Amino acid sequence: MFRVAAFFLAAFIFSALRIHGNLQRDDYIDVLKYKINIEVNDTTNLINGSTGITIVLKKPAHQIELDLVSRNSSNTGMVVDSVLKGGVQIRYNHTGNRLHLPVPENISSDTLFYKIFYQGIPADGLIMSKNMYGRRTFFADNWPDRARNWFPSFDHPSDRAIVDFVITAPSHYQVIATGLLQRKVNIPGKRTTHYWSTSVSIPTKVMVFGAAEFAVEYHEDINNIPFSTWVYPENLDEGLHDFSVTPEIVNFFSEMLGPYPFEKLANVQSTTRYGGMENAGNIFYHEGSITGNGSLKSTIVHEIAHQWFGNSVTERDWPHLWLSEGLATWLTDYYYEQQICDSIARERFISHRNRIIDFSKTRLAPVVDFHEEKYTELLNPNTYQKGSWILHMLRQKIGEKALVEGIVEFYNRHQLSHACSDDFIRLLEEITGENLEQFFDDWLFSAGHPQLSFNTSFSNNRFRMEVVQIQQHKMAFTFPLDIRFICENDKVIDHTFDIMFRRHEFILDLPSEPVDIIYDPDVWLLFELMNP
């Protein structure tokens, strides 16, 4: 390891000037490719690794900053042994979970290649544990920025790269990884090296491998896309049954959004901390969710939808996560509506609304939340269910045709790239010719939802109704409110009221005093009824 005082000073100055760290790096570097070489074993959690990184300088810089968690007092984290450039060792600085590499003076190309050798016990990100049957497993689990725990990277959704995995493991394991399998080589010591490679760029959050004693079954291709199931031997029958719905789901989204964007689709039973993790081309499902009773289907739909939104189109930064989770949730709801029945989708939205209301009582924050610094806290009903509800209400506002057209065009423009909320909003305004600023200010960038109180009276066939928004965090939301009046002899009268102020009073001629009043009968509005 080469260290000089000037290099330390440069590293300090660079860190001091960082503005939103990762996004400033996005201005000057673009990682084109990772070649990640990892060896795992049965006796220790220590890994030996090397990562080759090909980087393009987008503008002049004196050094490159990568993410790599340093060894800490608990003896986890990585220690860099050496860094090579052009086959020659170079100086580097690895402190504070950052690896600083110098950019040579008078370089002849804006494309640089470094090879970093390191070792250590991952603090997170690469989970080495035992599955529910007591057998050892290895699963990468990178979301949101945990890849840095086991390989040096630009660990942020704004950067995308192709990746090669070279994974060496004891030969009794099967290894699955992002991309397509290129070859397997048996080596001394009853070990096997597995070579996997992608052909399309992806963010680090969905670059993974898994190693376990799997039962593997290869199925008929889905539109020329290899499709396989990787489950623990004890769950082979249950896994094959649960994942048998995959082809129809892939076909639905392929017809709606465009061709499936990755080289393969593998459903993998794993020890992921999440119910499902949409890793590109190989989705990891929590080991306990493989039951054979079909209860996993909505998760499968959601994770497959992520292959288009989340993996191919990725949020520019974590506060825009709803472009991944909200879209995948809405696409799941839409799938159920189109493929099964309207009533199931309506039930899903009622359930979503209840979860959003419950969450707002514990934390009041907008969907696009720039204040939350703990990214895992963004995995909440705002991002998932409220994101879906925003699209649901937008469907009523601009029409189903325009919304679906907008989603498809959004995908076409940003596939294998990233986008932010403004990109989506501007595109919809372009398609519809409408100014949607008020809508998105209310629902996306403001916290909470309307809390509605109603005061009513009836006299001389005139129905008076006062509608009051009583939420304390925002003066007023703007929205259409559908109300169904059930009068004598089961006469049904539907009326839509345009709400835009804190308090409204309406007078309506009705044939008789309503026997029942149903607010939002067709489930189009995200609101909380305060005096039912």
Q: What share of the chain is helix, strand, coil (3-state, %, to 5)?
A: 30, 35, 35
> Mapped to the 3 state alphabet, what secondary structure does 348-407 carry?
HHHHHHHHHHHHHCCCCCCCCCCCCCCHHHHCCCHHHHHHHHHHHHHHHHHCHHHHHHHH
Average of per-residue pLDDT across 448-464: 96
Helix (H, G, I), strand (E, B) or coil at 457: strand
Contact in structure between 138 and 41 (CB atoms under 8 Å)? no
Contact in structure between 195 and 129 (CB atoms under 8 Å)? no
Q: Are residues 456 and 439 in the same domain?
A: no
Residue 195 belongs to some domain of the structure? no
DSSP string, 277-339: E--TTEEEEEGGG--SSSTTHHHHHHHHHHTTBTTTEEESSGGGTHHHHHHHHHHHHHHHHHH
**The domain containing residue 466 runs over which residues?**
451-529
Q: What percent of the chain is modeled with pLDDT above 70?
A: 95
Kindly report, residue by residue over 8-31, the tens digit of the pLDDT: 333 333 333 333 445 567 788 999
Contact in structure between 517 and 483 (CB atoms under 8 Å)? yes
Q: Are residues 385 and 471 in the same domain?
A: no
Kindly report, residue by residue over 57-115, the tens digit of the pLDDT: 999 899 999 999 999 999 999 999 999 998 999 999 999 999 999 998 878 789 999 99
Residue 6 belongs to some domain of the structure? no
Is pLDDT above 60 for 4?
no
**pLDDT of res. 273:** 84
Average of per-residue pLDDT across 205-232: 98
Residue 208 belongs to some domain of the structure? no
**pLDDT of res. 272:** 78
> Mapped to the 3 state alphabet, what secondary structure does 431-455 carry?
HHCCCCHHHHHHHCCCCCCCEEEEE
* Residue 274: pLDDT band with limits 50, 70, 90: confident
**pLDDT of res. 23:** 55
Is pLDDT above 70 for 477?
yes
Q: Are residues 354 and 421 in the same domain?
A: yes
Residues linked to residue 528 through DSSP beta bridges, in sequence order: 451
Residue 102 belongs to some domain of the structure? no
Assigned token pair, 430:
């372009």
Is pLDDT above 60 for 1?
no
**pLDDT of res. 106:** 78
Model pTM score:
0.93
Residue 196 belongs to some domain of the structure? no
Average of per-residue pLDDT across 507-515: 96
Q: What is the CATH number of the domain that holds 491?
A: 2.60.40.1840
d(CA 250, CA 253): 5
Q: Are residues 468 and 429 in the same domain?
A: no
Is pLDDT above 70 for 3?
no
Closest CA to 467 of 501, 418, 491, 423: 501
* Residue 6: pLDDT band with limits 50, 70, 90: very low
Residue 145 belongs to some domain of the structure? no
Domain count, the chain: 2
Q: What is the CATH number of the domain that holds 401?
A: 1.10.390.10
Kindly report, residue by residue over 291-312, the tens digit of the pLDDT: 999 999 999 999 999 999 999 9
Residues linked to residue 140 through DSSP beta bridges, in sequence order: 126
Assigned token pair, 491:
């006469």
Q: Are residues 372 and 461 in the same domain?
A: no
Count CB-CB contacts under 10 A for residue 23.
13
* Residue 7: pLDDT band with limits 50, 70, 90: very low
Residue 166 belongs to some domain of the structure? no
d(CA 289, CA 231): 11
